Chain A
Amino acid sequence: MENEADIVLRAQAGDSEAVGLLYDHYLDPIYRFIYYKVFSQEVAEDLTSDTFLKALRQLGSYHSGKGRFNSWLYRIARNTVVDYYRTKKEHAPIDDIFDLGQDDRTPEQIDTLASLARIEEYLQTLPARQREIITLRVWEGKSFAEIATLLDGTEASMKMAFSRSIRELRRVCGDSAPILLLVLAALPFPIYSYYMHI
């Protein structure tokens, strides 16, 4: 996005056109980012709405010294998803969190999740960060530099984590690895949010 810093400053000053530009630019990626974590249109819409409203309310607190604007916005989206799951089942043990979000799933998603039992053991060993890197890299087509910005890491560490995930995928699942990853992506976000501090 060209002149993003200027547009952000205008938006902070209350310029509705600038707010509209930022919204148009980030709505789709933020929506997908959330959708890949909840796999429900309704929930994704609610959380996307919350994300943008929070961003608007907190816009004054953002300044470029804290990092890039898109990184700041994605962080709000991630926290919104985490809050959603925590609110939904605040005191659930980690094992029970597998059940979260199932009421929102379509039949197609339920079919996809039929093999959940097969990968449960693998999930216990997969760091959430690696799963997020895979979806951002393969599905969103983001560069490692962008992923590093979004996830507050270095480009080298993103590459390393991605390669390890693929290797692990190959080792554990063999030829069924792509399907496994799809299932992983369909799992509720808290499964891995508990493994890392977001």
Chain B
Amino acid sequence: MKPDIDIIVKDILAEDPELGLEVSALRALVSELAEKRPDVTVDATFRNELRTKLLHELYVRKEKRTRLPWWLIYTVPVGVTAMLLIMVRPTATVVPTMPAPTSTESFDAAPAMLEMERGASKRSAEMGDAAASADASMMYEAPAGSADFFTAAFTSDRMAVRLAYVSVSTPAFVVVTDATGVVATSDLLLPGEQTNLELLLAKAATPGATYTATLHYDNGDGVFNTVDDMPALDAAGLTISMTLMQ
């Protein structure tokens, strides 16, 4: 940029008026000084090379910024694999199962529990309170992902269904149905394990017909009814039932 000599001289005089006595000499000095300015031009090759170097540096820096740290490169795949394994693992195995109480414990605890449940149901009915009803229903709602289990089969004369083994965590019933509806219902099964129970049928099972035994949780009144005593669900959300073989 070529400087304006007049402005430079004017600036000098503004700061130092005494130099005004020799303005011409001052102007000559500044002019000559300006003319002695070295002619400096940037070499074109250098210009291009430095530009290339800068852009390369910028690229490398961006690459470094976007690259994962070495420890993440190894830990991320391991973490993702672990997550996938957890997700695809059979859900029944990851849901903690409720420990089955011993038969002694279950029978000791059962009357108190049943009394409490019945009390709640009675209170709900008396109050006619929706909230109380909700509390009661929650109290008797089947545990999500229940691990309750039973085995059932017809007796040889097909007049009854034998429950060889039952394990429930909350009061329940085993209900046998055919195409017409309920054909047999167990007594209230208290929490714990029970074996060799028999459900008598009103008439012998019809050969060729399909019969299903299903576990239902009691709603707290100790009496089975198809509306309030909902089928028990296992951890997969499926009804705990079995088709009876003849």
Contacts and interface: CB of A to CB of B under 8 A. Distances in A.
13 contacts: A14-B62, A19-B54, A20-B55, A23-B54, A39-B38, A49-B53, A53-B53, A134-B33, A139-B3, A140-B1, A142-B1, A159-B11, A163-B12
B220 to A, nearest CB: 65
Nearest to A32: B40
Contacts of A48: 50
Interface in A139-198: 139-142, 144, 159-160, 162-164, 166-167, 169-170, 177-179, 181-182, 185
Contacts of A32: 40
B57 A178 contact: no
B133 to A, nearest CB: 61
Grouping DSSP codes into helix (H, G, I), strand (E, B) and loop, the B interface class, with mixed when no group exceeds half, is helix
A36 B33 CA distance: 14
Contact of A20 (B8, B36, B51, B53): B51
Interface residues of A, number: 43
Contacts, number: 104
A56 B30 contact: no
A46 to B, nearest CB: 10
Interface residues of B, number: 38
B15 A160 contact: yes
Given A27-B42, A162-B12, A169 B29 contact: yes
A181 B11 contact: no
Given A16-B58, A19-B54, A178-B32, A170 B15 contact: no
Contacts of B61: 14, 56-57
